[in-house]
């Protein structure tokens, strides 16, 4: 990953491939954002006019390159749009800084070192700029080797930006240093989640995923327990086993625990980890299965969040549950009409084998509930219906406690993850009534995302606060990159979960 450093050096004397500055949309044309004063001065105070001549407006996502002024050690100035300029004396919003830094980080692919002369009003800005560049500079080229077995860089491809220097970030200021270190820890884990999501499903089976979690646990001193298919059979995890039964790659349930000696709160994170979702016997048609390697994004987010909580040393206990299975059709696959006995003891009539996420989550939610955590949050690419409702950038938040749902929504907003609260209307429950079993895994088509949430609710232990994040939309970006979001796996929900753990550790939640 890109290295992040703080420096109080002046821009002109800095040896770098580029100086990044901010340009915002003012009332009368583009305005140069704070941090770029030295650059503006070298342009005789005419930088805004120069940028306007080059067609810059300051719009979000905009990128303008210009030669650095005489006397600068760096050859290039990269101006990134920040969107609307804040009112006089106002500050740029964290998300505007994050996105602008992300756009620059992406544009500087192949560069060794770039200095960021963007507004650094406080430690929060250091964190936002750090996150933006570290996430924006991400690339996944493990498989781009032209058949010669060498990776993209070895054959002359472009490596991500090697070093980002945040000018105005104070290397001796404790708050600035902590903000940068937090950005590095969170983004390293988030980028690892992106790698897992982008890894093709033939190279990421449940067993391989569990092995990666084991390596991470070892590296960061976490407790880990992996239940393989034998242990799952012995334990009666009918949901995970049922979904995994069609695949030659057997399922796993991973429990990963981070604990702090002084913690008095316990959070459980549960992730849907379908390493490939073909739909099973209720096979998905072509056009709906090409991106289904992303169906383990929830589990990847949970792994990343638990490891990040450990790296940050948060004063809270966090248990991560990864419900890992591959959903495939075969002679041993679960059929529409089969009844599964779940870990909770309830029976489920499987009417559609493509509604598999709720089956694996049900067992993991029940297992998580047995420890009586203060709250459970599950994360899942659960329903196409949630994408229809909220689009491809916003995740839905459901749950059994309105205050907790609101807290999660606020945490998501704070870290720059678009999210929206969704209801669990009681009347939709009866659609899942089964003639044969306790419940069916499908109900009314209308409100499908909410129906899935209502199904999950049945497997949360009595009295436990629970929320469900349906990240089917934002988990995987099928369009072009934007801001600090790349094409492919995005790492959706990681930053929200980490923020929730921080707020819980600080006692700012319930």
Question: Largest Cα–Cα distance in the chain?
Answer: 80
Decide if residue 109 touches ligand BES (CB under 6 A): no
| Burial class for 135, CB neighbours closer than 10 Å (0-12, 13-18, 19+) | buried
Nearer to Zn ion, 274 or 340 (CB): 274
Helices (H), 170-253: 174-198, 206-220, 229-235, 238-244
CA distance 21 to 168: 12
Nearer to Zn ion, 48 or 456 (CB): 456
Tokens 């009534």 identify what position? 433
Segment interacting with ligand BES (CB under 6 A) among 168-176, 250-258, 336-344, 377-385:
377-385
State the nearest-atom distance from the C-beta of 210 to ligand BES, in Å: 20
Nearer to Zn ion, 234 or 445 (CB): 445
State the nearest-atom distance from the C-beta of 321 to ligand BES, in Å: 18
CA distance 415 to 131: 10
CA distance 152 to 156: 7
Q: Given candidates 205, 250, 383, 477, which one binds ligand BES under the rule CB under 6 A? A: 383
Question: Which residues share a beta bridge with 116?
Answer: 20, 166
Nearer to Mn ion, 23 or 197 (CB): 197
| Burial class for 159, CB neighbours closer than 10 Å (0-12, 13-18, 19+) | middle
Nearer to Zn ion, 295 or 458 (CB): 295
SS (HEC) of 276-293: EECCCCCCCCCCCCCCHH
Decide if residue 357 touches Zn ion (CB under 5 A): yes
* Distances, alpha carbon 287 to alpha carbons 44, 258, 277, 283, 292, in Å: 56, 40, 13, 12, 10
**Site residue total, ligand BES (CB under 6 A):** 16
Angle at 359 between CA 357 and CA 362, to 5 degrees: 105
What is the number of the residue whose Cβ is closest to Zn ion?
277
284 is catalytic: yes
Partner that binds at residue 161, options Zn ion, Mn ion, ligand BES, none, CB closer than 5 to 8 Å by kind = none
Decide if residue 356 touches ligand BES (CB under 6 A): yes
Decide if residue 39 touches ligand BES (CB under 6 A): no
Decide if residue 385 touches ligand BES (CB under 6 A): yes
Decide if residue 52 touches ligand BES (CB under 6 A): no
Decide if residue 277 touches Zn ion (CB under 5 A): yes
One character per residue 262-281, x = contact with ligand BES (rule: CB under 6 A): ---------------x----
Nearer to Zn ion, 115 or 274 (CB): 274
CA distance 4 to 258: 26
Catalytic residue among 272, 358, 405, 495: 358
CA distance 56 to 53: 7
CA distance 341 to 447: 26
What is the number of the residue whose Cβ is closest to ligand BES?
384
**Residue numbers at the binding site for ligand BES (CB under 6 A):** 277, 295, 352, 354-357, 381-385, 387, 442, 448, 472
The residues assigned a catalytic role are 284, 358
**Residue numbers at the binding site for Zn ion (CB under 5 A):** 274, 277, 295, 357
């Amino acid at each position: 990953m890109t290295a992040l450093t703080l420096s109080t050096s002046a821009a002109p004397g800095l040896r770098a491939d580029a100086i990044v500055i901010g340009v915002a949309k003012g009332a009368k044309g583009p305005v140069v954002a704070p941090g770029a004063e030295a650059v503006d001065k070298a342009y005789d105070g005419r930088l805004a006019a120069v940028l306007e001549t080059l067609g810059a407006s300051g719009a979000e996502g905009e990128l303008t390159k210009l030669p650095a002024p005489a006397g600068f050690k760096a050859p290039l100035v990269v101006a990134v749009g920040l969107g609307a300029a804040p009112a006089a004396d106002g500050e740029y919003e964290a998300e505007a800084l994050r996105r602008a830094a992300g756009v620059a980080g992406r544009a500087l692919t192949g560069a060794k070192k770039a200095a960021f002369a963007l507004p650094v009003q406080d430690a929060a800005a250091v964190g936002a700029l750090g996150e933006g560049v570290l996430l924006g500079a991400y690339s996944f080229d493990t498989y781009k080797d032209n058949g010669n077995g060498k990776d993209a860089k070895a054959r002359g491809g472009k490596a991500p930006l090697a070093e980002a220097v945040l000018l105005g970030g104070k290397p001796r200021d404790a708050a600035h240093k902590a903000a940068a270190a937090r950005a590095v820890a969170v983004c390293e884990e988030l980028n690892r989640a992106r790698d897992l999501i982008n890894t093709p499903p033939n190279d990421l089976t449940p067993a391989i995923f569990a092995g990666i979690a084991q390596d991470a646990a070892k590296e960061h001193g976490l407790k880990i327990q992996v239940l393989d298919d034998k242990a799952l059979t012995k334990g009666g995890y009918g949901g995970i086993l049922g979904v995994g039964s069609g695949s030659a790659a057997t399922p796993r349930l991973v429990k990963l625990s981070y604990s702090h000696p002084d913690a008095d709160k316990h959070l459980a994170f549960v992730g849907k980890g379908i390493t490939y979702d073909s739909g099973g016997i209720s096979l998905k048609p072509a056009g709906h299965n090409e991106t289904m390697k992303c169906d383990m994004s929830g589990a990847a987010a949970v792994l990343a969040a638990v490891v990040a909580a450990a790296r940050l040393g948060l004063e809270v206990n966090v248990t991560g549950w990864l419900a890992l299975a591959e959903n495939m059709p075969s002679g041993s696959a679960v059929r529409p009409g089969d009844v599964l006995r779940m870990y909770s003891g309830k029976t489920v009539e499987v009417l559609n084998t493509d509604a598999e996420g709720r089956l694996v989550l049900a067992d993991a939610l029940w297992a998580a509930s047995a420890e009586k955590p203060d709250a459970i949050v599950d994360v899942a690419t659960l329903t196409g219906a949630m994408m229809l409702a909220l689009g491809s950038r916003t995740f839905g938040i459901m749950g059994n406690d309105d205050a907790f749902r609101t807290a999660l929504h606020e945490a998501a907003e704070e870290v720059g993850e678009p999210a929206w609260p969704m209801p669990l209307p009681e009347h939709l429950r009866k659609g899942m009534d089964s003639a044969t079993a306790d419940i069916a895994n499908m109900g009314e088509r209308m409100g499908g995302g909410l129906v899935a949430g209502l199904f999950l609710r049945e497997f949360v232990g009595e009295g436990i606060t629970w929320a469900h994040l349906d990240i089917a939309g934002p988990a995987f970006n099928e369009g072009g990159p934007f801001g600090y979001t790349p094409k492919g796996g995005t790492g959706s929900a990681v930053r929200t979960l980490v923020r929730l753990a921080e707020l819980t550790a600080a006692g700012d939640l319930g």
